[in-house]
Structure 1
């Protein structure tokens, strides 16, 4: 019998995924679900043929320089790969894979929940009920904004952005989008979407903005203070993509000053270290990065990871390899 591929997984994965990995590979699992310390992560990279990290593991140039000679694949559990120095990994002969196309519908559901919740002041109503402070219906209490007829701007009309657009269209929202490149007219017609070559011009016209671009050097703080000031004072911002795209301090200042209508955030500029001033705002809904948190989605992510590892171990190119053109 040939030796099984040596795989080390940095976080707890759904039980069926771990069980299948035990069958196929010589796998070491993280039984505690605590993020690996830098020291443990260095050990894992020195021992593994395949490392299975998550977004909580920052695999930078310095860490890759200490990788063991047997490490040949980093099979990321997740679609995003900005926490991995892919260019350095490839230079060292280490392939990187991810799990694209799995979570579009789940993330779009969460984005739509935020799009509906903030204008209708759902967070404020929920807090009122949880504190037992509701004293009954009133004609002027918690009046929000109607969704139908409003302009939704989608920054990044990829898989997730299109899934959001399909949902939003059924709620009567007019769809606007900004991409580096305009989409095919058939896609625009299907979604009823209007393309804006200028992001600045789109921002000035939308009532709700949904951020759906990856974090890259070109998108870091894409939504900076200058661009935020272009938006309507009652506009709502929803971010289920990457926190680094948003200048969180500028967003917080404008929300506190009443220069924006509200925000729904599932991702944050500094991971789980959230600006404490955001927590006190009644027109902000903060979620713990749960856009992809469905049983179905997380199992499918695991299946993709396993397929990538198995294909690699069999001597073939993994189907979800991250290539330089994607960086």
Structure 2
């Protein structure tokens, strides 16, 4: 088991060490669940009072908080406790699952596929015709990569994920379990006789940039034509839907249960809260924030924060909610 002194940890964080603990620290934990040999973090004033009830021997805290460490306890003050704690979590991160063989004997790899150096391919994976895997790609068991797909260097794909034909995946991506990339877009039109629905062929693909992370059970559909595009550095939570022909800029965030309808365009740095939905053919310009549970039905200018259903400027919506609450209380 890994363990570190408080000085070792502070050398990594370069913070201000207050107090001292003789305990060897063998892991991080939540404030009120931590044991004597664990380190925790405090990033908000609302949790300061809980330090007295915590058994943790050390805490990483924001440098704007005033707190006494106590006997045989230590604090490390940093500018951002969340980011500092990320370094500690990485320090104690357990090793990834072990591959007994680079390519498991039950994996099916087409003879035309190109496999880069240092790739790991788990049990029951399928690698189709003319697939190209870069160096250091990891496919955990039961991953399917269909024909003519390209996956960049050091991308990690967890079990159950399916990547359909002709998709292009960048370097250093992470796809969690049961991600779907390149399924048909949801395209139907009423038939001429009005008695059924006609499926619109979806002949495009999906292009995903570098350093993209996609959470479990999320779906990115292929385009009707051209490409559905996820820009570099985007982070997508679990159970998120990105529909056909949508385009996400760089470093966008989509929280769980949110969704983009067809042909939505996001600028750079757009943040979409949980369970929010964006209407088709809508543009959210760079820096937009969409509050959780909101429904966006029109274009949003750069830097705006919108909230509600239908979504409006957050300040206006909050004023409406206050007015409605006052009205209800007056009845």
> What TM-score do the two structures reach when normalised by structure 1?
0.27
The structure with more helix, counted as a fraction of residues: 1
Which one has the largest radius of gyration? 2
The structure with more strand, counted as a fraction of residues: 2
> What TM-score do the two structures reach when normalised by structure 2?
0.27
